[in-house]
Chains A and B, each alone.
Chain A
């Protein structure tokens, strides 16, 4: 049996750079989420991939909010799919810090 793969096209780089994307293939498991896949990439493929998350799968911290094929959603509650490539971007309208991480701190909670 061939391994089922989910393909993710992920925005890389920092806000000041021209947009670039990198594609990763991730082994698919039933029920797995996008956040599972992103953590898998960080551990097995590329530890430099920047993502934000805290509660992991409680859907309470809202930190893993990103744009999934252009629609804003939580990586921790969106299921992984194998039928097509899924494109991931940081939140639109926010400063991109690196890769999928955008500035989410309220202005008064920033150092500067």
Chain B
């Protein structure tokens, strides 16, 4: 078994985690360890993002961070934690300009200024991007290059953190480090850390239709709850309205149609070819303006009424757009689509809402501190800034801004502390890894149970919810959690996928239960949380719910932190 020591441990090497590492080192942390259960800078959500990073740069027209904040708060439907939303909007321009200095390659106007487009929900052109559909990969590559040049940062891939360890005794409850499994070698690892930043992204992988990468199963939420932190707004899962549904598209992200909508408009049509957004109060004659929650609502309603497309979505059509305009806007992408048998000039595609982003997350203050001393969160893993619905383009600025703040705060905290690591509090986590190595005979594998979980969440806890379905989900999730120890596991730890599945299932079930439980209690519809049995927004519900884990592992949902 290997034992490591660091000042700041960062779990997750996407945009938020990598930026947090840079900021922690910049703030003086001498030993920063960034660990990812996938490969550093390759997994997670950042690299998947194809377009739009919102920042009030004012390149196209006068803009101000307070205007960005106004739009963010409006999109959040009265539930944003305003201090976090303000932090995001105020500091986004500095982060975006810094990325330009680091040669991320923002698309530029003819006059050399950074190009900005108007994404839905924004009052003016504010969203920058890297052509073509390359924003996320460019941001991830830039940050990966930067952290490679910082001596204080140690990077570790395929290191799967299973537990955050808190101290006993007089420093009881404070973060002491973590236990992890090096999945490549199968070795258990203990890590003494003065501060820990959770930057593991969200949980959209627990839904059947999703735009997530493989490692977005809600790990960070389970780690945070286990360490004693609170989660906030867990019921708010953003369904991206026009995820690709059919024909089968290979080698492209299912949310790729959004940039097409920004640049070219496009028409959403029901199964009979009729435009329907106006029926729901959204007039798109002036361009692509429908917010995500409203578009999801409209599409789900059309499908439920039997007016959907053959695969259970609606049509998105660009057949009215001249071929020259298609080519000018998306160049090589048009050819990639043709390879998939999709000729945009002649045919519509089918789209449907897919789980895309999680507004909820670890409850933090403006310094990204959770209620557990020494435990911080950043990026999508942190909750509150986006309220009940995230404004387009706010995810990458959130990753960078909150990553910067978390790294700086964690370094400052670590500078004042001595290591609090002891073997005792880590023992249960190490014992679990030892038992996993022995394997276990069971009827069902965790891979099968994860599959069931995705169906259950997609069906009962998706974009439309009701009490009966949510109650069914909560009961079934509790059964699945109780049955975790009976899952089949093959012996051995070296790149053993049954062990990885089991660890993912364990975390995903906790995250799923937090979502379903909070959704059942919120008896109203607001933003991304839509209840068939409570279709109206209730002003009395303009408040957040918090989820906490009891000592016995049960989840409780309450109205106050």
A: residues with CB less than 8 A from B are: 14, 29-33, 42-43, 47-51, 53-63, 74, 76-77, 79, 97-98, 101, 103-106, 108-112
Q: Is the CB of A98 within 8 A of B48?
A: no
Q: Is the CB of B214 within 8 A of A54?
A: yes
Most buried by A among B214, B448, B498, B501: B214
> Which listed residue, A60, A104, A106, touches B136 by the CB 8 Å rule?
A60
Q: Is the CB of B189 within 8 A of A62?
A: no
Q: Is the CB of B40 within 8 A of A60?
A: no
Given contact pairs A56-B212, A56-B214, A77-B251, a sample of 4 additional A-B residue pairs in the complex whose CB atoms are under 8 Å apart? A31-B247, A105-B40, A110-B156, A111-B159
Classify chain B's interface size.
Answer: 35 or more
Q: Is the CB of A47 within 8 A of B501?
A: yes
9 A-B pairs closest in CB distance = A31-B248, A47-B445, A77-B251, A105-B157, A47-B447, A59-B251, A98-B495, A54-B43, A97-B495
Contact of A47 with B156 at beta-carbon distance under 8 Å, contacts A60-B136, A77-B251, A109-B39 already known: no
Instruction: Determine the distance from Cα of A43 to Cα of B159 in the docked complex, in whole angstroms.
Output: 24
- B2 on the A face (CB < 8 A): yes
- B81 on the A face (CB < 8 A): no
Q: Which residues of A contact B214 (CB under 8 A)?
A: 53-56
Contact of A97 with B215 at beta-carbon distance under 8 Å, contacts A47-B501, A55-B48, A62-B42 already known: no
> Which listed residue, A42, A62, A111, touches B497 by the CB 8 Å rule?
A42
- B68 on the A face (CB < 8 A): no
Q: Is the CB of A55 within 8 A of B213?
A: yes
Q: Is the CB of B250 within 8 A of A31?
A: yes
- B451 on the A face (CB < 8 A): yes
Instruction: Determine the distance from Cα of A61 to Cα of B213 in the docked complex, in whole angstroms.
Output: 9
Contact of A110 with B157 at beta-carbon distance under 8 Å, contacts A54-B38, A56-B214 already known: yes
Contact residues of B between 463 and 497, Cβ < 8 Å to A:
488, 490, 494-497
Q: Is the CB of B42 within 8 A of A63?
A: yes
Instruction: Determine the distance from Cα of A32 to Cα of B249 in the docked complex, in whole angstroms.
Output: 9
Q: Is the CB of B497 within 8 A of A61?
A: no
Q: Is the CB of B447 within 8 A of A33?
A: no
Q: Which residues of B contact A62 (CB under 8 A)?
A: 42
Q: Which residues of A contact B488 (CB under 8 A)?
A: 47
Q: Is the CB of B451 within 8 A of A57?
A: no
Q: Is the CB of B38 within 8 A of A63?
A: yes
Nearest-Cβ distance from residue B364 to partner chain A, whole angstroms: 26
Instruction: Determine the distance from Cα of A79 to Cα of B2 in the docked complex, in whole angstroms.
Output: 41
| Interface residue stretch chosen among B15-23, B84-92, B179-187, B425-433 | B179-187
Q: Is the CB of B495 within 8 A of A101?
A: yes
Q: Which residues of B contact A104 (CB under 8 A)?
A: 39, 157
In the complex, the chain B residue whose C-beta lies closest to that of A14 is: B494
Nearest-Cβ distance from residue B229 to partner chain A, whole angstroms: 26
> Which listed residue, A51, A54, A59, A101, touches B215 by the CB 8 Å rule?
A54
- B71 on the A face (CB < 8 A): no
In the complex, the chain A residue whose C-beta lies closest to that of B448 is: A43
Instruction: Determine the distance from Cα of A31 to Cα of B157 in the docked complex, in whole angstroms.
Output: 32
Contact of A61 with B42 at beta-carbon distance under 8 Å, contacts A47-B448, A108-B155 already known: yes
Instruction: Determine the distance from Cα of A61 to Cα of B45 in the docked complex, in whole angstroms.
Output: 10
Instruction: Determine the distance from Cα of A1 to Cα of B263 in the docked complex, in whole angstroms.
Output: 44
- Interface of chain A, helix or strand or loop or mixed? loop
Instruction: Determine the distance from Cα of A69 to Cα of B450 in the docked complex, in whole angstroms.
Output: 31
- B354 on the A face (CB < 8 A): no
Q: Is the CB of A59 within 8 A of B47?
A: no
- B67 on the A face (CB < 8 A): no
Most buried by B among A62, A74, A97: A97
Contact of A77 with B497 at beta-carbon distance under 8 Å, contacts A47-B448, A54-B43, A111-B2 already known: no
Q: Which residues of A contact B2 (CB under 8 A)?
A: 111-112
> Which listed residue, B213, B249, B494, touches A98 by the CB 8 Å rule?
B494
Q: Is the CB of A42 within 8 A of B159?
A: no
Q: Which residues of A contact B249 (CB under 8 A)?
A: 31, 57
Q: List 25 A-B contacts (CB under 8 A).
A: A30-B247, A31-B250, A42-B447, A43-B447, A47-B501, A50-B497, A55-B48, A55-B214, A56-B213, A58-B48, A58-B252, A58-B253, A59-B252, A60-B137, A60-B253, A61-B43, A61-B213, A97-B184, A98-B496, A105-B158, A105-B184, A109-B40, A109-B157, A110-B156, A110-B157
Q: Which residues of B contact A48 (CB under 8 A)?
A: 490, 496-498
Nearest-Cβ distance from residue B553 to partner chain A, whole angstroms: 25
- B446 on the A face (CB < 8 A): yes
Q: Is the CB of B494 within 8 A of A97?
A: yes
Q: Which residues of B contact A57 (CB under 8 A)?
A: 249-254
Instruction: Determine the distance from Cα of A32 to Cα of B251 in the docked complex, in whole angstroms.
Output: 11
Q: Which residues of B contact A50 (CB under 8 A)?
A: 495-497
Q: Which residues of A contact B38 (CB under 8 A)?
A: 54, 61, 63
